[in-house]
Structure 1
Amino acid sequence: MSPAFYGCILFWFLQTNAVGAELKPPENLTMITMNTNYTLIWDWDQSSSAVNFTTQYVAKFKLKKSKKTPVWSTACRGTSSRSCDLTQFNLYYLGSYVLRVKANVNGHFSDWVQTEFCPDKDAALGPPDKVALSPAGSDLEIVISDPLTSTNNSMKQNHPDLYYEILYWEHFPDSRALRTQTVSSRANIVILPNLKPWTWYCVSVQSVYDFYNKKSSFTSPHCMQTEGATPWGQIFGYFLFSLVICFLVILLSLYFFFWCYKTLKATWFPAVQLPFQYLCDSTGPHFPRLLTQDSDSEMLCDEVTVCPESPVLKIHIPPPEALPVPPSGLEPDSSGRRRRQDSSGSGDSGVYSTGGSHSSTGGSHSSTGGSHSSTWAKVSGQGPFDLEQVKMQDVAPGLKTQLVNADEGIVDMCV
């Protein structure tokens, strides 16, 4: 090999040894904490893009009691950032731990640098998670939510003696000096008494743990106006407003029901009836048809009045054996028809019948003297028969004669 090749190898070896000798460990290890959120940060002065860091932790009691080399748990390996988040490892809050960090550049490691960490003592306490205000007459009600751990549990599980410092003051629109007052409470619901009615107040709350003298920062101010006795003018205004609202609601309801009523009435009972008429059609059955303006006016019918059908005169003829013997004055006709005997001529007569007795007819006025005659109905070969009484006013006035067919002849009767 050439001397140049050996020279390059020697130069690389010397440079590597120089870097390893100059590689320093990280400095200023610091824990950034809030409740149960823990992050370890550090500084490193040398600038090198190939550097990375390794972070490990172990419980402190294992270093004292273990005879063997303790097993360190690696939290971050080969990270280029100058921080390591330990929150996800759920370190025991009352425990004590030893943390260490080293740097690595191209396979060369620096020395370990260590620090101790006790969450109960070193972890910072956070402010309340939430503060809500609500008026309670002339007082203010404050609802405080506990600080939360990384698993959303209350910090009172770790600090049972946790309490709150409540700072409140009257809010002024101008920049006058504030006169603050302080109230301490372990409860989550606090009422601030002796406040002015209809006045704005601002509140800020701080978490406190006295054992290690832990105090959180104050929350951002929350402001609320107190209430008091409602003025009569405001009550009267509310009353008038409620009356107007009720009137409008009733008016709209009535209008809605009236509109529904008109719509239903116009739908089911229209004011304009459909033009249905009866057509006079002698060639076919009578049925209603819809007429239009193009319909022939000659097809229209006049108004028709329907009257009940007139009663039909019925004459009941008894059997021959039940007929009485006719009087001597009547003679049978050879044609089997008995005619009415009238001494004075033709005229109107009445017919009366009584059960089982002779029928007598009377009162026919003649054209000359108005004499009465008796009319008998005769049947060929048989005597006179009884007729049922007939009321002449029930017969239609246009009816003059009626022929009744019998088994043995035809009775010609003038009604």
Structure 2
Amino acid sequence: MSINRRNLLKTGATLGIAGAFGLGAWELNKTNTKAKILITGGGAGGLALSNKLLHYFSGAEITIVDPRGYHWYQPGQTLLLAGAYKSKSKVIEDNATYLDSQVKWVEAGVEAYNPDNNQITTTSGQVLNYDYLIVATGLELRYDMIEGLDTNEIGQGNIASIYLSPEAGIASHQQALTFAQSKGGQALFTRPQGAIKCAGAPMKATNLIEYFVRQAGQRDAFNFEYCTAENQLFSVKAFDQRLQDIWAERQITPNYEHTLTSLDSAAQTATFTLADNAQRTMDWDFIHIVPPMTTVKSLRESELIDETTFKGYLEVDKYTLQHKRYPNVFGIGDTVGTPIGKTAASVKSQLSIVASNLQSLITDQPLTAHWNGYTSCPMILDVGHAMLWEFDYSLEPMTTLPIQVVDPLDKSELAWVMEKSLIRPVYDVMLHGYTPV
């Protein structure tokens, strides 16, 4: 399969070079300001940006609004399914580990946005004013959009879903092992309509559970079907074709334009709506469910959303990440209306863009920092192998590492080691506001 080598090598710096020099460069260019900077959402984007802004501003009042008192390393959910992570403690950390003492945390959700008056109202009734707003509220898991699904059943009865919680990731691993040791059956895997966080995770789950079944030694007694609401497996053609080839070898059947709309756990059936609105009901002995996802209610009911191209998402310029109608508003992470980029890797590459452009706005300079849409997906193939997929708005393969180290189309032990052991330390550094890689 041919790949544009120029795209593969255009970001081919070795890990760490970018951070070996100048980590303190921001300190020399800090802007003194009394600006009130409000960040809604304290996940990877909000928490990391709060620390990043401390490198750009001196004297700013930075506040995060989020009801959750802990940080959840969501990329670790597939490692819980793989059994590489064994406990909840591998993905849960107290916010205090990352929160700088200069940043204020308001432990509440957002009830309503009032961008015309530069205010938000929290779920506790508090009205907060801001000079600048960064929306980082991520995505809401919409299990409620699947009729008949009771989330309390996830992790039992051969119903799995790694997205729900750390506990669900661990329970899904146990369900997978039990299924693999059974006498055989039908395994279904779903991918909902629209944008989702970590779009590769549904396929990683499929690969892992097929691997467990193969390892158990009775692969011929099992049937694997992947049902996606999309018309392709992956948006990057080279990666899409590579996975199709792998699945043909592993006898995993993709079903396109299949949207899971209802589940009957007692009858062990799943009903899908097809592109022509016809219904198809399929039996299952094991099912892994990925729920539809939307922005959180307070945002999708606000004046800040995009009503056209990325309906329901924060309306931003896809390069500057500045709101198109409210110039003192920016977005970061899963909640922004951009063509791609709902991964922690995207957050890492967006941090400097938002911080730099906010600094430019405050100092009356042009917004020159542009995000190229960079995102990354370590496509897990089995316990011990993965492919490191990186791309940007061009939807062409690229690589941060030289292709001699990791070819994105090759099954790689190194890519697995990176997913299992190396990405988390980089992620933790990111949460402290540094992006050396």
TM bin, normalised by shorter chain, reads: under 0.3
The structure with the largest alpha-carbon Rg is 1
Name the structure with the higher helix share. Answer: 2
